[in-house]
Amino acid sequence: MTDERWARVKALFQSAVERAPEERDAFLAAATGDDAALRCEVESLLTSDLSDIGVLDRLPVVSASVLAALPTSMDPTRSHTSLAAGLRVGSYEIVAPLGAGAMGEVYRARDTKLNRTVALKVLPERFALDPDRSARFTREAQLLATLNHPNIGAIYGLEESNPSTGSGQPAVQALVLELIEGPTLEERIGSLSVTEALTIARQIADALDAAHQKGIIHRDLKPANIKISRDGVVKVLDFGLAKVWDGARQSDVSLSPALTGIDLGPRTVLGTPAYMSPEQARGQSLDRRTDIWSFGCVLYEMLTARVPFAGDTISDTLAAILDREPAWAALPATVPAAARTLIRRCLEKDARQRIADISVAQFVLDDVADVASATGSGNAAAIARRPPMWRRLAILSGTWLVGVAMAGTAVWFAVRSTAPPRVSRLLITPPSAAALSVGVTGHSLAITPDGTRVVYVGANNTALFVRALDALDATSITGFSDSYGPFVSPDGQWIGFFEGVTSLKKVAITGGPAVTLGRPGGTAIGASWSTDGTIIFATNDRTTGLHRIADTGGDPTVLTRPNRTKGEDDHLWPEILPGGQAVLFTITAATGGIDQAQVAILDLRTGTQTVLIRGGSHARYVSSGHLVYAAAGRLQAVAFDLARLAVVGTPVTIHPEVPTNAGLALAPDGTLVYIPGGVSPLARSLVWVDRQGHETPLPAPARDYAFPRLSPDGTRIAIYIPDQEIDIWLWDLARAKLTRATFDRGVDIYPVWRPPDGRQILFSSVRAGGVNLFAQAADGSGDVTRLTTSPNVQHATSVTPDGTRLVFAEISPTTGQDVMQLRLDSTHAVTPLVQTPFNERNAEVSPDGRWLAYEANDSGRFNIYVRPFPDVSSGYWQVSTDGGTRPLWERNSRELFYLSLTGALMRVGVTPGRTWAATAPTKLFDGQYGASANQSGRTYDVAPDGKRFLMIKAAGSADQTAVPTSLVVVQNWREELKRLVPTP
Amino acid sequence: MVSPRNVTALLGDWSRGDRTALNQLLPLVYAELRRVAARQLRSERSDHTLQPTALVHEVFIRLVDQREVDWQNRAHFFGVAANVMRRILVDHARRHGASKRGEGVRCLSIDEANDVAASNETPVLALNHALDRLETIDAELAKLVELRAFGGLTIEEAAHVLSVSPSTVKRDWRTAKAWLTRELGSDIRP
């Protein structure tokens, strides 16, 4: 039962029980509606309430002799329930007991390192004290811990420690398990629909499949060992523990786990060996077909609410297993024929006749689900959970096809195999304790070659996280000081990574101690692992290029050096191509920045280097036959002939921006993972600040924002972001969406909206020469219009309220910065407004069109001045008294704002009239808001209602908003790539 | 040497958030329970049994300085003692059961199970197991049962330990009893 469900039951019971018994029926009927199960549950409690038999009043008395005979001190390892809340076992803090299991007591515990809740299964003392058993158990537990599947309750590890410091008590040995909140399948049986039962069965089959592929047999599959988590995911528990238990006890092999490893609770004391296979009942050796039998038993019980082989005594039950057929007639008529056949084939008493591989059950149950969905009664969750097509095809073999055909699902195979895999996207957001650490130079993430697990660096570079894409949580490998730059071995079993500049290390993807392989000799910038057991990496040491080291460790050897005579600066970001005979890398240029970089290939057989792409970097190979690389701030792809090691065809832009620090990883199977959003260390956030200084953040990503300008209708913000390309972007306030508005490779800066309708954005741009003025439609349609051609730098600052003139600052070699205006008609005529030998800039025409406010430094520092407009020579008033920059009018022209020299937002009240009349300046709030870089433009705006200000907040070190928090995973991205960039 | 003042101070520390105080407190409570039992054995009474709740109260009186302890610490003490009591009872029931059935074979025959069911006591293991299950769906209710059944706390005392109102405790107590009756009913009714 889920917490929410219980909360409802509890609330209804408590309401109902307060009423007179005769009123309860009507109340419950009204309160539960058509939820019969809910009503039934509440009614059963009401019945129990009436028939109170005093369960809690009849606790046994304690015999004084028993008490006196208790051990003289509390020994946590001696008693079954001996660990109290608050006690610590290693880094785990006991929260509460969960129950007694075959292996000992189970506790809810807190993992204080990772701040998560786990289940701790504490082993009996006699177990921990026997070195042979203990060692054997450790080995088995390590094998089981490699099971990583969303439908298998994970074993995180083994904890051996002293439960309380300094107490001198013996060590506690405990298994650290995934804690799954929710009922067991045992509790759900009887309340399952056929569809639910089949959906659950499909997930159990997935769990068995994953384990069997690793050679692990469950041996004790039963409803009590299967949990249904709060979000409906089925989790099979205690995988293989029966064997561990058995082996460790060195017990009589004929006593199978179902008979010996029994829970001490009353229900399971009476537990029968109902789920044992015939070979198990006979004490014969077991293989995975014993699990298939038990799977059939569980499926049968889910559908019929009765065990297939029952008896009053254990021997009767064993007899039924060995000799009798289940009551097939008990299966509801609605159970599909294919599922009936499946159960029969699972419950063949002769293991040789039985289905030999659980994948057959997976196929059949998929088929059944498809039929169900086609008839409108399907379970969407069941279908969505299906693994990708390629995986299912990969495990299909001839033998199993026979089984598939028997179950009547060959048609499914024929029809489905023609459809390409669907591209799907998912977001991974690590919890804040495990927040992503994004490196500036190296890659911060990696993906296993089979595309099933993403590796990323987190928790301030102290941990590596491994997130199975089909799991809900990442597992962590902790204990590092400065880990970065992860990469994965070709078999997906190891993570290579760097720690500081001193160590290149590897660690098993399932965790464990890290092994130092060698010294990288600098900050690593890219690494790749070959199938032949070598690792190629690059560092920031510009005297060397690529390095090679054996994956067993040793001294790295220098593979390439940058050729200074060719203008090469460094060789970075190596990626070994399939086959291991060539490595892709980036040659950075001594001048010209990343735009002048080249993608090159080094043939490891001949040692020859060939440039593949000029103006590109960060190349990766995708098995669809493409190279994906960064070029001019965009993600490009081009077809690539792996045999000839040559680019074929034309590059295509596949994404308008490159992920943060090229933070992307590609698996050969076509799974892409990247860190969305370009984030630089200069990232800032947008905030609303009211007149009292109270902040409300906008939900915009942290970027290196500057010069925000609200559209005339207040629905959009035009804003300058220089972090990827230097462009103008639009933030849509209603849709909370950031889109790029300008796309030129040059600098686009100082956006202003053209009133009154705001359909046009005017801006400064470095296109074909100097910084001149341009215009384009705000919706991105149409062409960019060049408004001026001048050798002088021109900064757009405002547009007159009628939209006829653009006011801008021009930097003249003779008169410095001057305030100019441009007619926004076909003449594009430019005339000066305020032109003196001093600097005048950031001029803004008041919304009523009567005044021009600007800043000028004729007093030796910048102050705010106002002149009449358009007749600017008829008057001249100083507004600020103690310096000021970046003036801005309130939209009713009754107020003028500006920034003090310390960045505080100042306000001046303006009295309407023909002559200038204003109040003395007062401060609204202090200036913790970023006045961007060294550029002079206005760094804030006022909302149309004048009640709040749009400010840019610098992201301090403690400001989490500046850190990218999520990873995007695109499964089957290869399909998208094939569509966008056809290969010849 | 443990003095009542020490226990009172530990309770204070614990209620102020010092978790190590609990680690020191548990063995003290445990040891005192044993001492009370030993004293009982030496007495002339023929009935050498104790009600668990009475036992917990006796331990409290002996361990805690009545003039020093405040209401809140008193409640905390019973929270600890109830848990110790529960574990003693469960442990005893397990040892008792194990010795009766012999080592290695843990399966009860149907007849043996009926013996258990026919006895007039609520089987401690059954209750313990049911409480464990209750813990997974409603930890607060499970804690309440522990406090009331094994620690003998009043409604008001339990309310204080759980930081809820007495009326909530009353409602929850009734709910917990109904739930446990339903879960245990089939096991303990003859």
**Same domain membership, residue A175 and residue A280:** no
Residues of A in contact with B108 (CB under 8 A): 269-270
Residue A178's CB is within 10 A of a number of other CB atoms, namely 21
Mean pLDDT score, A604-627 = 88
- Lowest mean pLDDT of A420-434, B42-56, B85-99, name the range: B42-56
Average pLDDT, chain B: 67
Contact call for B178 and A46, based on CB within 8 A: yes
The DSSP secondary structure of A316-337, one letter per residue, reads: HHHHHHHHPPP-GGGS-TTS-H
- Predicted pLDDT of residue A260: 30
Burial of A414 (0-12, 13-18, 19+ CB in 10 A): exposed
- Spatial contact of A719 and A705, defined as CB atoms under 8 Å apart: yes
Q: Which residue segment(s) compose the domain that B138 sits in?
A: 4-188
**Distance in Å, alpha carbon of B84 to nearest chain A alpha carbon:** 9
> Which candidate in A8, A51, A72, A74 is best for mutational testing of the B interface (most B CBs within 10 A)?
A74
**Same domain membership, residue A325 and residue A391:** yes
A961: DSSP letter: G
Partner-chain residue, chosen from B48, B122, B150, that has the shortest CB–CB distance to A55:
B122
The band of A676, judged by pLDDT with boundaries at 50, 70 and 90, is: low
Contact call for A260 and B104, based on CB within 8 A: yes
A363 lies in a domain?
yes
Which one, of A628, A600, A633, A635, lies nearest residue A614 by Cα? A600
**Same domain membership, residue A394 and residue A313:** yes
Burial state string for B67-83 with b = 16 or more CB within 10 A and e = fewer than 16: eebeeebbbbbbbbbbb
**Same domain membership, residue A200 and residue A163:** no
Partner-chain residue, chosen from A47, A108, A262, that has the shortest CB–CB distance to B106:
A262
The band of A814, judged by pLDDT with boundaries at 50, 70 and 90, is: confident
- Lowest mean pLDDT of A288-297, A842-851, B94-103, B118-127, name the range: B94-103
The DSSP secondary structure of A359-375, one letter per residue, reads: HHHHHHHHHHHHHHHHT
- Lowest mean pLDDT of A403-412, A730-739, A931-940, B132-141, name the range: A403-412
- Predicted pLDDT of residue A213: 84
Examine the pLDDT at A401 and tell me if it is beyond 60: no
Q: What percent of chain A is predicted at pLDDT more than 70?
A: 76
A356 lies in a domain?
yes
Residues of B in contact with A44 (CB under 8 A): 182
- Predicted pLDDT of residue A418: 39
Mean pLDDT score, B156-161 = 79
**Distance in Å, alpha carbon of B68 to nearest chain A alpha carbon:** 25
Q: How many helices (H) and strands (E) does chain A have?
A: 21, 58
Chain segment A94-125, per-residue pLDDT in tens: 887 776 544 557 788 888 877 788 888 876 55
A70 lies in a domain?
no
The band of A402, judged by pLDDT with boundaries at 50, 70 and 90, is: very low
- Predicted pLDDT of residue B23: 65
- Predicted pLDDT of residue A964: 57
Residue that is last in its domain, among A416, A451, A469:
A416
The band of A958, judged by pLDDT with boundaries at 50, 70 and 90, is: very low
A776 lies in a domain?
yes
> Which candidate in B136, B165, B167, B170 is best for mutational testing of the A interface (most A CBs within 10 A)?
B136
Examine the pLDDT at A588 and tell me if it is beyond 80: yes
Contact call for A70 and B31, based on CB within 8 A: no
Residues of A in contact with B184 (CB under 8 A): 55
Q: Which chain A residue lies closest to B22 (C-alpha atoms)?
A: A86
3-state secondary structure of A651: coil
Residues of A in contact with B138 (CB under 8 A): 6, 10
Q: Count of domains in chain B?
A: 1
CB neighbour list of residue A465: distance below 8 Å, 6 or more residues apart: A430, A434, A455, A456, A457, A458, A459, A474, A475, A476, A477
The band of B104, judged by pLDDT with boundaries at 50, 70 and 90, is: very low
A positions 861-900 inside 8 Å of B (CB): none
- Predicted pLDDT of residue A237: 85
**Same domain membership, residue A705 and residue A561:** no
Contact call for A73 and B113, based on CB within 8 A: no
The band of A390, judged by pLDDT with boundaries at 50, 70 and 90, is: very low
Partner-chain residue, chosen from B113, B137, B178, that has the shortest CB–CB distance to A45:
B178
Q: Which residue segment(s) compose the domain that A38 sits in?
A: 3-49
CB neighbour list of residue A251: distance below 8 Å, 6 or more residues apart: A260, B104
**Same domain membership, residue A159 and residue A213:** no
The band of A713, judged by pLDDT with boundaries at 50, 70 and 90, is: very high
B171–chain A Cβ distance below 8 A for any pair:
yes
Mean pLDDT score, A537-549 = 87
The band of A738, judged by pLDDT with boundaries at 50, 70 and 90, is: confident
**Same domain membership, residue A195 and residue A175:** no
Higher pLDDT among residues A970 and A585, named by residue: A585
The band of A681, judged by pLDDT with boundaries at 50, 70 and 90, is: very low
Examine the pLDDT at B103 and tell me if it is beyond 90: no
The band of B62, judged by pLDDT with boundaries at 50, 70 and 90, is: low
| Residue type at position A223 | P
**Same domain membership, residue A36 and residue A112:** no
Average pLDDT, chain A: 78
Higher pLDDT among residues A431 and A167, named by residue: A431
The band of A781, judged by pLDDT with boundaries at 50, 70 and 90, is: confident
Mean pLDDT score, B145-152 = 81
- Lowest mean pLDDT of A373-382, A533-542, B33-42, name the range: A373-382
Contact call for A80 and B90, based on CB within 8 A: yes
Partner-chain residue, chosen from A46, A64, A81, that has the shortest CB–CB distance to B37:
A64
Residue that is last in its domain, among A156, A179, A202:
A179
- Predicted pLDDT of residue A386: 39
Higher pLDDT among residues B49 and A922, named by residue: A922
B167–chain A Cβ distance below 8 A for any pair:
no
**Same domain membership, residue A452 and residue A407:** no
A positions 738-757 inside 8 Å of B (CB): none
Higher pLDDT among residues B44 and B77, named by residue: B77
A84–chain B Cβ distance below 8 A for any pair:
yes
**Same domain membership, residue A410 and residue A440:** no
3-state secondary structure of A735: coil
**Same domain membership, residue A209 and residue A162:** no
Contact call for A100 and B50, based on CB within 8 A: no
The band of A955, judged by pLDDT with boundaries at 50, 70 and 90, is: low
**Distance in Å, alpha carbon of A265 to nearest chain B alpha carbon:** 6
CATH number for position A139:
3.30.200.20
Residues of B in contact with A68 (CB under 8 A): 34, 37-38, 40-41
How many CB pairs below 8 Å do chains A and B form together?
A: 204
Residue with tokens 């009567």: A850
| Residue type at position A832 | P
- ipTM score of complex: 0.78
Partner-chain residue, chosen from B91, B180, B187, that has the shortest CB–CB distance to A81:
B91
Q: Count of domains in chain A?
A: 5
- Predicted pLDDT of residue B94: 67
Mean pLDDT score, B1-26 = 64
**Same domain membership, residue A567 and residue A437:** yes
Residues of B in contact with A124 (CB under 8 A): none
- Lowest mean pLDDT of A454-458, A636-640, A947-951, B17-21, name the range: B17-21
Residue that is last in its domain, among A381, A416, A451:
A416
Q: pTM value?
A: 0.35
A65–chain B Cβ distance below 8 A for any pair:
yes
- Lowest mean pLDDT of A177-186, A197-206, A268-277, A623-632, name the range: A268-277
